[in-house]
Chains A and B, each alone.
Chain A
Amino acid sequence: MSLPITALVLCLTLPLLGAIATVAAPRHATPLVTSVAGLMVAVTIGLTSHVAIHGPVVVALGEWAPPLGIQIMADGPAVLFLLVNALVMAAVVLFSLAPIGQPGPRSRLAQTFWPLLLLLWGALNAIFVSRDLFNLYVGLELASLAAVALVAIERKRDTLNAALRYLLFALTGSLLYLLGVVLIYAGHGTLDITLLAGELGMHPTDALAIGAMTAGLAAKTALFPFHVWLPPAHAGAPAPASAVLSALVPKASLYIALRLWLEAAPGAGDAIAVNVLGWLGALAVVHGSIMALRQERLKLVIAYSTVAQIGYLFLVFPLALGAAGAAGSGVADSAWNGTLFQALSHALAKAALFLCAGLILEAAGHDRIARLAGVAQALPVTLFAFGLAAITLMGLPPSGGFMAKYLLVTASLEGGVPGWGLIVLAGGLLAAAYLYRPMASAFRHPDQESAAPFTTVAAWRQAIPLGLAIASLALGILPAVPHELMGGMP
C-alpha cells in the first residue's frame, strides 16, 4: 500500500483501535488517548498536504470496484473536514486531560468519555470519506449513538431527558435516511455517489427517496423546526463534549446532504424544494439568534447560536441550485465554497466558545450571564479567545466566518436573489448582539460586597480554546489553500 492510502486507512482505523485499547486498558488511558490524538493530527496533516499537491486519494476496499464494492475517497472538502475534525478532537482531548474537581468519579468519567470521543472521531472520519450511501448510513448511525452517549455521560436527570429526546430525533432521522437509501437502491441498483451522479432524479421514486433522506438529515443537523433537541442536549453535556457535539456532529449530516444534493442529484432539486430548505435556514438564523439573545445561561446562548449558524449552511441549496445557480457556475461555486468556509470556521469557533464556557463554569462555578462580573480579570486569556471566536461567528474580517459570508453574499448578489444575502448580513448583526451580552457582563467590575471568588484555571488549558479561535481566524487570513481544496461546485 502506498503512503497516502495508508494514511487514509489510518484515519478510519486508528480512532477505533484507540477506543478499544482505552476500554481494554483504562489505567493507561491518558497516554493512549494523547498518542492516538497526536498521531491522528500528524496523519491528517500529511493526508491534507498530499491531497493539496497531488489530488484526491481513492481506495476501493478489497480491490472491489463499485457497484459491488465500496469506495472511499479523500478529496479536497473531505480532507478539510478531516483536518478540522482532528484539530477540534485533539483540542478536546488535551482539554479533558486535567482532573477536574474530585479525582475519583472524574477519572472514571474521563475513561468513559475518551472511548466515546474516539468512537465519534472514527465515525465522523468514516462519513467524510465515504462514497456509498449505505456506508454513510452506518457512519451516521455510529456517530449518532456515540453523540447521544456523550450527552448522557453525567447521568443526571436533565441530561438523560435531553439525551432521550436527542436519541428519538436521531433515530427517526436515520430511519428516514435509510428509507431513502432503500428506494434509491431499488431504483438504480447502486448506492455509489459517483455512479449515481446525474442518474438521480430519473426514477419516479427518487423524489420520495431524496425527500425522506433530506428530512432525516435535516432532523439530525437540527435545521429550524427540528432543532428543539439541540439546545438542551448541547448545553447539558460536559463542556468538552458540547464542543464536539456542537462543532462537528451536525456538520456530518449536513455534509451528507451536500454530497447528496449537489453531487449525486444536481438536477433533481426543483425550485420549490430548494427554496423551502433556504427558507427553513433563514428562519433558523432569525429564530436561533433571537432565542440566543433571550437566554440567561452562557452555554445555552452558545447552543442557540449553533441553531442560527446552521441556518446559513442551508442557504447553499437555493443559492447553488435555485435561481442563483442558473445564473452561472461562478455563483454556484461561491455558494458552495462559502458554505464549506462557514461549516469549517463555525466548527473551530464553536468548539473554542464551548471550551471557554467550560473554563468560565469551572472558575465561577456557574454560567449565569448576569453574575459573570469580574471574569475578565480572572480569566483574561479565556475572554480573549472568546472574543476571537466571536469575531468568526459574527463574520467580521479577518476570519473564516467573514470569508463564508463574503462568498455567500456575493453569490446572492450575482445570482440576482439579494434576499438570501440580507439574511446572512442580518444574522451577523444578531450574532454581534447575543455575543456582546456575555462579553459585556464579563468585563464589568464586580461590586465589593457581592464579589465571588474565582478558582484559578491553568494557563495551558486557557490556551487550548485560544488555539482553536486563532485557527478559525487563520481560515480567513490565509484562505487560498482551503479555497483551492474546496474547488467549487462538484
Chain B
Amino acid sequence: MTATEWLPFTVCAAALIGLGLYGLVTQPLLLRRVIAFNVIGSGIFLLFGALSGSESAGTDSVPQAMIITGIVVALSATALALALVVAHAREGGRDP
C-alpha cells in the first residue's frame, strides 16, 4: 500500500481514539462512557489494520486474527458494562 492509501485510515483512527478518549473523560452519563469506550476500541482496531497494511506488500493475517480477538474481548467487556449499568439503574443509583 502507498502512503496515500493507508494515511486516511490512520488519520481516521487517530481521530476516533481522540474523540473516544475525550468522551470517556468528559461525558457524565454512564451509557455514553460505554459508547466512548467502543469508539476508542474501533479506532484502535482501524489503526491496527491500517498500520499492518502499510508495512507488508500483501495482507498480514496476524493483525486480522488479533483484531477479531480484540473485537470479541471488547464485546464481552461492553456486555458486562451494560449489565452493570442496568443493575445500577435498577438499584436507583445515579451516575457517578
Contact = CB atoms under 8 A, between A and B. Distances in A.
A164 B77 contact: no
A152 B84 contact: yes
A172 B63 CA distance: 21
B15 interface: no
A423 interface: no
Given A148-B84, A160-B91, A164-B30, A175 B96 contact: no
Interface string A164-189: 11011001101100110111011001
Contacts of A414: none
B77 A145 contact: yes
A157 B94 CA distance: 10
B80 interface: yes
Contacts, number: 84
Interface string B70-96: 100100110011001101100111001
Given A145-B76, A175-B40, A168 B47 contact: no
A160 B87 contact: yes
Given A149-B80, A167-B77, A185-B63, 8 more contacts: A137-B70, A138-B69, A157-B91, A171-B37, A175-B41, A182-B44, A185-B48, A185-B66
Contacts of B37: 168, 171-172, 175
B30 A186 contact: no
Nearest to A175: B40
A152 B66 contact: no
B62 interface: yes
B55 interface: yes
Interface in A123-168: 134, 137-138, 141-142, 144-145, 148-149, 152, 155-157, 160-161, 163-165, 167-168
Contacts of A168: 24, 33, 37
Nearest to A167: B81
Contacts of B48: 182, 185-186
A182 B47 contact: yes
Given A172-B37, A182-B44, A145 B87 contact: no
Nearest to B66: A134
A157 B17 contact: no
Contacts of A182: 44, 47-48, 51
15 contacts: A137-B70, A141-B73, A145-B76, A152-B87, A155-B87, A155-B91, A160-B84, A161-B96, A167-B81, A167-B84, A168-B24, A171-B77, A172-B24, A175-B40, A179-B17
Interface of A: 68, 134, 137-138, 141-142, 144-145, 148-149, 152, 155-157, 160-161, 163-165, 167-168, 171-172, 174-175, 178-179, 181-183, 185-186, 189
A116 to B, nearest CB: 11
Contacts of A142: 73
Contacts of B17: 179
Contact of B52 (A68, A179, A186): A186
B6 to A, nearest CB: 11
A167 B17 CA distance: 19
B83 to A, nearest CB: 9
A174 B81 CA distance: 14
B70 A164 contact: no
Nearest to B33: A168
A161 to B, nearest CB: 6
Nearest to A178: B44
B62 A165 contact: no
Nearest to B49: A182
A164 B96 contact: yes
B51 A171 contact: no
A181 B62 CA distance: 13
Contacts of B81: 164, 167, 171
B88 A141 contact: no
A324 B11 CA distance: 41
A175 B85 contact: no
Shortest Cβ-Cβ A-B pairs, 3 listed? A186-B51, A157-B91, A182-B48
Contact of A161 (B41, B51, B69, B93): B93
Contacts of B51: 182-183, 185-186
Contacts of B52: 185-186
Interface in B38-54: 40-41, 44, 47-48, 51-52, 54
B14 to A, nearest CB: 10
Contacts of A145: 76-77, 80
A170 to B, nearest CB: 9
Nearest to B65: A134
Contact of B44 (A68, A172, A179): A179
A109 B26 CA distance: 36
Contacts of B30: 164
Nearest to B67: A182
Contact of A156 (B41, B54, B66, B91): B91
Contacts of A174: 77
B56 to A, nearest CB: 8
A163 B76 contact: no
Contact of A164 (B44, B54, B69, B85): B85
A208 to B, nearest CB: 11
Contacts of A160: 84, 87-88, 91, 93
Contact of B70 (A152, A171, A178): A178
A411 B26 CA distance: 43
